[in-house]
């Protein structure tokens, strides 16, 4: 006995067989997902892990000893560690003035001085206004 043969449904427009799957939706019909803090944290954690992996590879490949002198202290460190410490000290040298400037701006904002700037042309007052 053979399975019954059913005629395949065809489209009214172009006589092609209908697909049994759902019709494709246009991009405007699809639900859009919003980004969440957890999703952002997940991306940050993965990127951080990749950076740590690259850093570990860098340290392992640069293991030869280097002579280091710093403010009178002398010692030997692996080359990778010495370069990493130099990079960290460089970042700190850049971060310190930036931190001082941010604190300065916060203190100025808390005091309420210097935050309001005129949006229009400067006003002429006093004797200089009489001359015009």
pLDDT tens-place string over residues 40-69: 888 999 999 999 899 888 888 888 898 888
Q: Which residue has the tokens 């930036």?
A: 98
94 lies in some domain: yes
- Collapsing DSSP to helix, strand or coil, 9 comes out as coil
Q: Is 34 exposed, middle or buried (0-12, 13-18, 19+ CB in 10 A)?
A: exposed
Count of structural domains, the chain: 1
Give the residue, 104 or 9, on which the prediction is more confident. Answer: 104
User: What share of the chain has pLDDT > 90, as a percent?
Assistant: 18
H or E element, residue 60: helix 37-61
pTM of the model: 0.46
Is the distance from CB of 11 to CB of 18 less than 8 angstroms?
yes
47 lies in some domain: yes
Confidence of residue 2 (pLDDT cuts 50, 70, 90): low
Structure confidence at residue 34 (pLDDT): 79
Q: What's the domain range around 61?
A: 37-112
130 lies in some domain: no
H or E element, residue 91: helix 79-111
């Amino acid at each position: 006995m053979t399975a019954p043969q059913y005629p395949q449904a065809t489209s009214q427009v172009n006589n092609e067989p209908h697909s049994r799957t759902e019709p494709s939706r246009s991009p405007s019909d699809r639900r859009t997902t919003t980004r969440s803090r957890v999703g952002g944290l997940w991306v940050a954690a993965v990127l951080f892990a990749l950076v740590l992996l690259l850093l570990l590879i860098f340290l392992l490949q640069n293991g030869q000893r280097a002579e280091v002198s710093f403010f009178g202290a002398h010692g030997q460190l692996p080359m990778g560690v010495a370069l990493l410490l130099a990079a960290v000290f460089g970042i700190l040298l850049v971060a310190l003035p930036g931190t001082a400037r941010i604190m300065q701006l916060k203190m100025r904002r808390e005091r309420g001085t210097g935050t309001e700037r005129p949006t229009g042309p400067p006003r002429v007052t006093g004797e200089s206004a009489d001359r015009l």
